[in-house]
Amino acid sequence: MRYVVFDLETQNYFSDVGVNDPASLDISVGCFYDSEADRYYAVTVDELSSIWPVIEGADALVGYNSNHFDIPLLNKYYPGDLRHIKSIDILESIRESLGRRLKLDSVASATVGAKKSADGLQAVRWWREGKVDEVKKYCLQDVKVTRQVFEYALKNGHVKFKDGSKKREIPLDTSKWGDKEDVSMTHALPF
């Protein structure tokens, strides 16, 4: 299965747009990992169209809170409909199993010993200060961490998190994560 792990950063906050709808925000940077090419990509909003062929070649999009945040936001820019690509949202799987949401940093540090380098609010500040390379570096780290958690979960059927001083396992149903789905998709590429 060819999967693309991705994460997006924004130019603004929900408080700037007055609603909690991710599609009302504007992308600053998007980072992507293509499992087939074993390659990472970091693009600014102006370069997003260069990533469409990678996304369209994927059997699944993988993210953390991606169904609620990243896919609706990216779909605003994509000329087709990303909801036609299989989506694996690790946070959604955690919430289904545990009954609550957990931060990526909490899961990643307990599961694979990886950490995020900052947070989304800092990424907006960096963007506004013109520190595009800092935003890309932060976003790439999130994609690397998400990829590690995804691959661990796929192999082991669980992730971990710290509950006080103890590590706890969260069983995840990953049995269908590797399945290819036969769907018709609206592609952005001309044929």
Considering the domain boundaries, does residue 112 fall inside one? no
Range of the domain at 42: 3-99+120-147
Measure Cα distances from 43 to 6, 73, 96, 179, 187 in Å: 11, 15, 32, 29, 20
Q: What are the pLDDT digits (tens) for 150-176?
A: 999 999 999 999 888 889 999 999 999
Considering the domain boundaries, does residue 86 fall inside one? yes
pLDDT band, very low/low/confident/very high, at 191 (cuts 50, 70, 90): very low
Considering the domain boundaries, does residue 23 fall inside one? yes
pTM: 0.92
Considering the domain boundaries, does residue 21 fall inside one? yes
Considering the domain boundaries, does residue 22 fall inside one? yes
Q: What are the pLDDT digits (tens) for 1-24?
A: 999 999 999 999 999 999 999 999
Measure Cα distances from 79 to 10, 32, 33, 49 in Å: 19, 18, 21, 9
Considering the domain boundaries, does residue 29 fall inside one? yes
Considering the domain boundaries, does residue 167 fall inside one? no
Which residues are paired to 114 by β-bridges? Answer: none
The CATH number covering residue 124 comes to 3.30.420.10
Number of independent structural domains in the chain: 1
